[in-house]
Chain A
Amino acid sequence: MIFSCWWLGYPFLSMVCTHVPEGNIHPSVSSISKLLSTAALAPQICIVGSGPAGFYTAQHLLKHHQLAQVDIYEKLPVPFGLVRFGVAPDHPEVKNVINTFTQTARSDRCSFYGNVTIGKDVMVEELEQAYHAVVLSYGAEDNRILGIPGENLSGVYSARAFVGWYNGLPENRDLKPDLSSETAVVLGQGNVALDVARILLSPLDTLRKTDITEGSLAAIACSRVKRVWLVGRRGPLQVAFTIKELREMINLPGTRPLLDSADFTGLGDAIKDVPRPRKRLTELMVKSALETPGEREAGRWASATKEWGLKFRRSPLEVLPAADGKQARGVRLAVTRLEGSGESARAVPTREMEELECGLVLSSIGYQSLPLDPSVPFDPKLGIIPNSLGRVQGVPGLYCSGWVKRGPTGVIITTMSDSFDTAQSVLEDLQSGVLNLSDTKEGFKSLRSVLHSRVTPGVHPVTFSDWEKIDAAEVARGKLAGKPREKIVDLQEMLQLIGH
């Protein structure tokens, strides 16, 4: 089901209604062209990054300002950020949001320029010259590291790279994760940890019908992984994943959960007064760990060939090398105790240690944003651009939204809401005159020559209609394989396809 343009609020119509004298319900062609000639007063706004933050910021600006022109720059030739390269292939419903983004991109007042890396091909200062306002929505392109010995052994991967690999992110296409051991350990207990565990354990027939890449599907088909441990440094009351994802895991065909009843006994009291989401999440874990399963579930668990489990109060100390000194053979964990309680409890390592044997380690302890270019303030400790309500501190005209504004947590609705807030700040600054529209700004027009001189010779910005060609090609390839799309994982191939 594709929705109509309802949320765009008929930009053209409202633009006309705004300026024609009252009572004139049939604006003449001349009044429209007169209106268009006032384009000098149209704010030129640019957005860096085409993930949910970029698109939701653009959507809000276009809807609530009838003249704004919004240009979205994206490093990759293809749009949508983590909706394409993060959201799990077996969660196609989440990707429906692409339909809304596509409507935004097709607006007359919105342009997409893919294949342009800000901070490299074009600097932020150059954007500031060309636009009245610049919104940074470039997400979190790196991951946090544990900083423990053995983290670089083979068999150890960041969950970010693993996710990028199965989702066709060009930079991770050659990851070739080693799936030859029976036990995998995922460090971290967030939703990304559950995503990677689920992809490792899902029945092949389920994955085959998704847009998981051909290459990773083939590798997973040969995987020997049968058991996945998700290791948290804190307790069951502090897990970061959410209930929908946990329920999906508990119901995953062909698998059984390994939950130690000792971890869950007596939790009832602790959750009496916590907010509903945490309460229901804990209750579901407690139920699965302590109650006798119903007949169907018991049957499924008994016949399961794969299993997954949660380990609590274990903080990673070292990835242990095998005899060859190169390959991971396990992880050493410190048993922790909790100081404080509830969400803010802290894990403090005790002297007790434990080893867990495994040949595959996925570190899933969070993504991380990187500074973009020297002219943009960045807080290395918080990993965000310092801002108030999306206004970058100390730099009028510069804004931020999404993960680079808040840090790398939150689902799409969180990102949507904070992007609307940022857009609102831009609108307020337009209205109050903080952003001076009498400075003529030419937007993309004035950047074209910069791009010509900068961008790798022969490479040009990718437009949204170019992307639509790539999209159509991917969908067509997918059709042959009985899946919604077969992603193109090679940048050159994408560009060739659109004749660049």
Chain B
Amino acid sequence: PPSSLPSPTVAPDRVTVHFINRDGETLTTTAKEGESLLEVVVNQNLSIDGFGACEGTLACSTCHLIFEENVFQKLDAITDEEMDMLDLAYGLTDTSRLGCQVCVKKAMDGLTVQVPMEVADLRKGLEVGKQSK
């Protein structure tokens, strides 16, 4: 399950990544160098609804993530194929990428990415059943 605590002690070959989920909650996790951000979400069981529908095959754009400008500049070049799929993503920005195409690097430690808001209707996630806590 995701932890939303600030980065704990991190093994040397691991990189800390923060995902800001649609409801504003920050999901913090650690990733192995070389993993794609989609693999990070899947391997760490991060609860991001509908993320990665096509399982990383550049056919759905559900893995859309928004980067911070300075990090975005340093990412590997984007291919036409990724741009094509990104063009169908919701809430496209100038610093958008597809999470299945971006691999984690050591230099990205502390990276924060934003899961874009759904355009149609953004209401705060209701967790019925969990609320009786």
Q: Knowing A9-B47, A277-B87, A277-B88 are in contact, say whether A413-B53 is a contact too (CB < 8 A).
A: yes
| Distance to closest chain A CB from B92 (angstroms) | 7
> For residue B53, which residues in chain A have a CB less than 8 angstroms away from its CB?
96-97, 100, 412-413, 416
Q: Are B47 and A7 in contact (CB under 8 A)?
A: yes
Q: Knowing A65-B129, A417-B90 are in contact, say whether A244-B50 is a contact too (CB < 8 A).
A: no
- Verify if B74 is at the interface (C-beta below 8 Å from A): no
Which among A276, A418, A430 is the interface contact of B87 at CB below 8 angstroms? A276
In the complex, identify which listed stretch (B11-19, B24-32, B102-110, B114-122) lies at the interface while the others stay far away: B114-122
- Verify if B68 is at the interface (C-beta below 8 Å from A): no
| Distance to closest chain B CB from A266 (angstroms) | 23
Residues 35-76 of B at the A interface (beta carbon under 8 Å): 41-42, 45-62
- Verify if B85 is at the interface (C-beta below 8 Å from A): yes
Q: Please name the residue on chain A nearest to B96 by beta carbon.
A: A276
| Distance to closest chain B CB from A457 (angstroms) | 40
Encoded as 1 (CB less than 8 Å from any B CB) or 0, chain A from 249 to 282 comes to: 0000000000000000000000000001100110
Q: Knowing A6-B47, A56-B50, A96-B54 are in contact, say whether A280-B87 is a contact too (CB < 8 A).
A: yes
- B57, B80, B129 pick with most chain A CB within 10 angstroms: B129
* Alpha-carbon separation in the docked complex, A247 to B54 (Å): 19
- Verify if A431 is at the interface (C-beta below 8 Å from B): yes
Residues 288-306 of A at the B interface (beta carbon under 8 Å): none
- Verify if A438 is at the interface (C-beta below 8 Å from B): no
Q: Knowing A243-B84, A411-B88, A413-B89 are in contact, say whether A421-B118 is a contact too (CB < 8 A).
A: yes
Residues 1-26 of A at the B interface (beta carbon under 8 Å): 1, 3-4, 6-7, 9-10, 14-15, 18-19
Q: Please name the residue on chain B nearest to A43 by beta carbon.
A: B128
- Verify if A424 is at the interface (C-beta below 8 Å from B): yes
| Distance to closest chain B CB from A102 (angstroms) | 13
| Distance to closest chain A CB from B118 (angstroms) | 5
Q: Please name the residue on chain B nearest to A390 by beta carbon.
A: B121
Q: Please name the residue on chain A nearest to B52 by beta carbon.
A: A3
Q: Are B87 and A242 in contact (CB under 8 A)?
A: yes
- Verify if A137 is at the interface (C-beta below 8 Å from B): no
- Verify if A63 is at the interface (C-beta below 8 Å from B): yes
Number of interface residues of A (CB under 8 A): 48
> For residue A428, which residues in chain B have a CB less than 8 angstroms away from its CB?
123, 126
> For residue A93, which residues in chain B have a CB less than 8 angstroms away from its CB?
54-55, 57-59
Q: Are A244 and B49 in contact (CB under 8 A)?
A: no
* Alpha-carbon separation in the docked complex, A59 to B62 (Å): 15
> For residue A67, which residues in chain B have a CB less than 8 angstroms away from its CB?
129
- B42, B48, B52, B121 pick with most chain A CB within 10 angstroms: B121
Q: Please name the residue on chain B nearest to A2 by beta carbon.
A: B55
- Verify if B83 is at the interface (C-beta below 8 Å from A): yes
Q: Knowing A6-B45, A91-B59 are in contact, say whether A424-B121 is a contact too (CB < 8 A).
A: yes
- Verify if A427 is at the interface (C-beta below 8 Å from B): yes
Q: Are A10 and B119 in contact (CB under 8 A)?
A: no
> For residue A198, which residues in chain B have a CB less than 8 angstroms away from its CB?
none
* Alpha-carbon separation in the docked complex, A109 to B123 (Å): 25
Q: Are A430 and B45 in contact (CB under 8 A)?
A: no
* Alpha-carbon separation in the docked complex, A7 to B49 (Å): 6
Which among B58, B120, B130 is the interface contact of A66 at CB below 8 angstroms? B130
Q: Are A420 and B87 in contact (CB under 8 A)?
A: no
Which among A7, A14, A97, A420 is the interface contact of B54 at CB below 8 angstroms? A97
| Distance to closest chain B CB from A407 (angstroms) | 14
Q: Are B46 and A6 in contact (CB under 8 A)?
A: yes
Q: Are A99 and B55 in contact (CB under 8 A)?
A: yes
Encoded as 1 (CB less than 8 Å from any B CB) or 0, chain A from 399 to 442 comes to: 00000000000011100111011001001101100000000000
Q: Please name the residue on chain A nearest to B45 by beta carbon.
A: A6
Q: Please name the residue on chain B nearest to A42 by beta carbon.
A: B129
* Alpha-carbon separation in the docked complex, A56 to B49 (Å): 10
> For residue B58, which residues in chain A have a CB less than 8 angstroms away from its CB?
93
> For residue A63, which residues in chain B have a CB less than 8 angstroms away from its CB?
49
Q: Knowing A94-B60, A417-B119 are in contact, say whether A65-B90 is a contact too (CB < 8 A).
A: no
Q: Are A244 and B84 in contact (CB under 8 A)?
A: yes
Q: Are A413 and B129 in contact (CB under 8 A)?
A: no
Q: Are B1 and A10 in contact (CB under 8 A)?
A: yes
Encoded as 1 (CB less than 8 Å from any B CB) or 0, chain A from 200 to 229 comes to: 000000000000000000000000000000
- A1, A411, A412, A430 pick with most chain B CB within 10 angstroms: A412
* Alpha-carbon separation in the docked complex, A94 to B88 (Å): 14
Q: Are B55 and A3 in contact (CB under 8 A)?
A: yes
- Verify if A389 is at the interface (C-beta below 8 Å from B): yes
* Alpha-carbon separation in the docked complex, A420 to B126 (Å): 12
| Distance to closest chain A CB from B29 (angstroms) | 12
Q: Are B121 and A14 in contact (CB under 8 A)?
A: no
18 A-B pairs in the complex with CB atoms less than 8 angstroms apart: A6-B41, A6-B42, A6-B46, A15-B129, A66-B128, A93-B57, A93-B59, A94-B59, A243-B84, A244-B85, A247-B80, A276-B87, A277-B92, A412-B53, A412-B60, A413-B90, A424-B125, A428-B126
Contacts from A to B (Cβ < 8 Å) = 1, 3-4, 6-7, 9-10, 14-15, 18-19, 56, 59-60, 63-67, 91, 93-94, 96-97, 99-100, 242-244, 247, 276-277, 280-281, 389, 411-413, 416-418, 420-421, 424, 427-428, 430-431
Knowing that A18-B132, A59-B49, A96-B55 are A-B contacts, what are 19 other residue pairs whose CB atoms are under 8 Å apart, sorted by A's residue number? Answer: A1-B56, A14-B130, A18-B133, A19-B132, A64-B125, A64-B129, A91-B59, A93-B59, A94-B59, A97-B60, A243-B87, A280-B83, A413-B89, A416-B50, A417-B120, A424-B125, A428-B123, A428-B126, A430-B128
Can you list the 8 inter-chain pairs with the closest CB atoms, starting with the nearest?
A66-B129, A93-B57, A277-B87, A93-B59, A244-B84, A6-B45, A96-B55, A421-B121
